[in-house]
Every structure is written in C-alpha cells, then in structure tokens.
C-alpha cells in the first residue's frame, strides 16, 4: 500500500561529502539533472544525504507494505464468500509483492535486505502508522481498501515521478495494483450498503467512523511541521506537499461517501466556495505521534508477528541458500 509522508524521523545532518574538485563537479551535474526534472540511476553519483533519505523512505515504504498484510490477512479465513476470500487473498499477496519490489529498490542504494529487516524488527525503522489499528469487523476490510488504499494512491502517484528512477519504476507497477485494491474495497462496501441488512450498514458506518481520522494522518504532519519536506521537494523525491495531498483525498472521498451512503465523522466538513475545496476539522496530531512512537492499539502485536514470521522462516532461508549452493556446484559438471 503505502507510503505516507513517512519521513518522520528527525533531520539529516548537513551534507559534508563534497571534498574534492571532482566531487564538486559531480554535485553540479547531479543538481542540474534534478533541476531539469531528470532521473538518477543506481550507478550515478549522488549526495550522501540523498542516498540516506531514499534508503529511509523506501525501506519505510517496504515495511509498510509487509506490515500492511497483517490487519487484512487476519480476515482471510473469515471472508464471507469464496469470491471475497479469493479477492482478499490476491490483494494481501499483492502487498507482499509491493514490499519485495521496494526492498529491491532500496538495495540498489547499497544497503542489504538483512539490515533493513533488522531495523524493522528492532523497532528502529518506522512503517505507516495506519497499520497499528485493529480490524474489528469484515467492514474494516472494505474500508481499508476504499480509504487506506485510496489515501495510499494519492500519496504514491506523485512518487511515480520521483527523481530516483528505481523507486519511480517500482511505484508505477505498484500504483496499477493499488487502484484495483481501492475499487474492490469500495465495491464490497457498496454491496453491503445497497443490498445488506441494517446491521451490515451500521457495521460499515462504524468502520468508516474508526478509520477516517487515522487515514487523514497517513499524509503525515502539516507542512509547517514537516522538517524534511522542503529538502525532499528540492531533490524531486517528494512532488506534492502533505497538506495538498490530504486536501485532494478529502475532496475525492466526500463525493465517494455520498455514493456509498455513509457519513464521514467530521462535523467540520463543509464545502468552501471561495477555496473550491472541502474544509475539514482539526486532526489529533497527539494521537498520530503516539502511534508513530510505538503506542498505538496494535504496535506491539504487529511487530511481534513480523519477528515471529522471520524467526520461523529461518529454515526456509537456510534451505534456499543450501539449494542455491548445490545448483552452483552442479553447474560446471553440466557444462
């Protein structure tokens, strides 16, 4: 699914890596490429802080995809029909694939997957705060598709033009799949709202009430409290600001909510003719930081599930390595 303005960990130190005349030229060339809206490839020279920022952002994004499999995976065995089960299985598998593309993109920057995963498992690396909320009913699965994948698409479409080409290429593939995710969620909710019972409609509304505000938080802190945003924009990593993306999401979602027949839980939602946008109420940023810092409803459970999967998968990794070694041994004989 998901990046958010995930770039929520402190400022980078000043970049002091320009040491020689040659490096000054390389820096100039890099700046010119960025200014022209060009792309940087893995083998191109890049400033250390650009590299570090990308490793952090891409790995946080990869972790979000992988951890994002957990809340929905929880419902695979309890999906109400075979059709919904097949769709959900495919979606959760897609998210795993997104994680793998993104780990591969991060590895092109000179880091290893083991290092990235160790940072996740130790709690040092972040992932999107949205996955620290529980999925209490089947309607939550639909709402995750509609709102969480919907917010992820808003965030991710601009990253298809990110200046770091391997990240941009991964995002193009990912965004195609995300739009299916969003539509299947909306479709599942529409069926419950149009053909369901009163209890099912109430269940959908309850899920919308619980997920709406955390979804708005997915776009990250307001622009004036987002320390890394300006540099990210300068480098062409970030193309649209957190507040602009959040507004676009609200504007699009209000209309979709009308079609569904659900109420968004914000008495402050009001069309503003002068701005040409929907106004909305204040976001509880204390809640956001609380969840980012490890104290959301499911942080411990999510991390424990990932660590357990890693530990219990050790034999698979060992077997795969042993198999690869055997293949290599046999190759010269075959030749």
The residues in 28-67 that bind Fe ion, with binding defined as CB under 5 A, are: 65
Please count the residues of this chain forming the interface with Fe ion, following the rule CB under 5 A: 7
Selected from 149, 156, 220, 303, the binder of Fe ion by CB under 5 A is 149
Based on DSSP, count helices (H) and strands (E) in the chain, helices before strands. Answer: 14, 2
Per-residue 3-state assignment (H helix, E strand, C coil) for 121-157: HCCCCCCCHHHHCCCCCHHHHHHHHHHHHHHHHHHHH
Q: Which is nearer to Fe ion, 2 or 280 (CB)?
A: 2
Query: What whole-number distance in Å separates Cα of residue 292 and Cα of residue 129?
Result: 6
Q: Which is nearer to Fe ion, 54 or 130 (CB)?
A: 130
Region from 49-57, 163-171, 179-187, 301-309 binding Fe ion, contact rule CB under 5 A? 179-187
Q: Which is nearer to Fe ion, 27 or 256 (CB)?
A: 256
Q: Which is nearer to Fe ion, 65 or 140 (CB)?
A: 65
Q: Are 69 and 92 in contact (CB under 8 A)?
A: yes
Query: What whole-number distance in Å separates Cα of residue 127 and Cα of residue 143?
Result: 20
What is the number of other CB atoms lying within 10 angstroms of the CB of residue 102?
27
Selected from 56, 181, 201, 246, the binder of Fe ion by CB under 5 A is 181
Q: Which is nearer to Fe ion, 182 or 200 (CB)?
A: 182
Q: What token pair was written down for 295?
A: 């104290």
Region from 1-9, 24-32, 78-86, 136-144 binding Fe ion, contact rule CB under 5 A? 1-9
Region from 175-183, 235-243, 246-254, 288-296 binding Fe ion, contact rule CB under 5 A? 175-183
Angle of CA points 225, 166, 88, to nearest 5° = 80
Q: Which is nearer to Fe ion, 309 or 324 (CB)?
A: 309
Selected from 7, 72, 95, 266, the binder of Fe ion by CB under 5 A is 95
User: What letter would DSSP give residue 278?
Assistant: E
Map residue 282 onto helix, strand or coil: coil
Region from 79-87, 160-168, 178-186, 284-292 binding Fe ion, contact rule CB under 5 A? 178-186
Query: What whole-number distance in Å separates Cα of residue 122 and Cα of residue 141?
Result: 28
**Contact between 72 and Fe ion per CB under 5 A:** no
| Residues near Fe ion (CB under 5 A) | 1, 65, 95, 98, 149, 178, 181
């Amino acid at each position: 699914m998901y990046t958010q303005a995930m770039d929520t960990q402190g400022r980078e130190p000043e970049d002091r890596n320009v040491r020689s005349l040659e490096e000054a030229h390389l820096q100039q060339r890099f700046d010119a490429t960025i200014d022209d809206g060009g792309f940087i490839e893995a083998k191109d020279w890049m400033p250390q802080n650009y590299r570090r920022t990308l490793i952090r952002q891409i790995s946080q994004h990869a972790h979000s995809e992988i951890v994002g499999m957990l809340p929905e995976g929880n419902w695979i065995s309890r999906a109400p029909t075979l059709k919904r089960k097949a769709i959900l299985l495919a979606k959760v598998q897609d998210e795993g694939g997104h994680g793998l593309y993104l780990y591969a993109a991060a590895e092109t920057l000179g880091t290893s997957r083991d290092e990235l995963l160790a940072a996740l498992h130790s709690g040092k690396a972040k992932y999107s705060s949205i996955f620290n909320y529980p999925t209490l009913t089947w309607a939550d699965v639909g709402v995750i598709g509609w709102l969480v994948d919907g917010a992820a698409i808003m965030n991710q479409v601009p990253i298809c033009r990110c200046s770091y080409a391997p990240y941009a290429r991964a995002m193009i593939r990912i965004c195609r799949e995300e739009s299916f995710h969003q539509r299947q969620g909306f479709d599942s909710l529409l069926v419950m709202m149009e053909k369901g019972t009163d209890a099912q409609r109430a269940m959908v509304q309850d899920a919308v009430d619980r997920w709406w505000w955390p979804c708005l938080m997915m776009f990250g802190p307001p622009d004036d409290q987002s320390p890394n945003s300006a540099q990210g924009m300068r480098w062409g990593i970030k193309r649209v600001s957190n507040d602009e993306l959040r507004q676009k999401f609200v504007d699009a979602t209000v209309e979709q909510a009308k079609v569904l027949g659900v109420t968004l839980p914000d008495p402050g939602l009001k069309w503003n003719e002068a701005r040409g946008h929907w106004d909305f109420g204040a976001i509880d940023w204390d809640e956001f930081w609380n969840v980012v810092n490890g104290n959301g409803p499911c942080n411990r459970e999510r991390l424990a599930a990932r660590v357990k999967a890693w530990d219990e998968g050790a034999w698979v990794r060992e077997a795969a390595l042993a198999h690869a070694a055997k293949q290599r041994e046999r190759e010269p004989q075959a030749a």
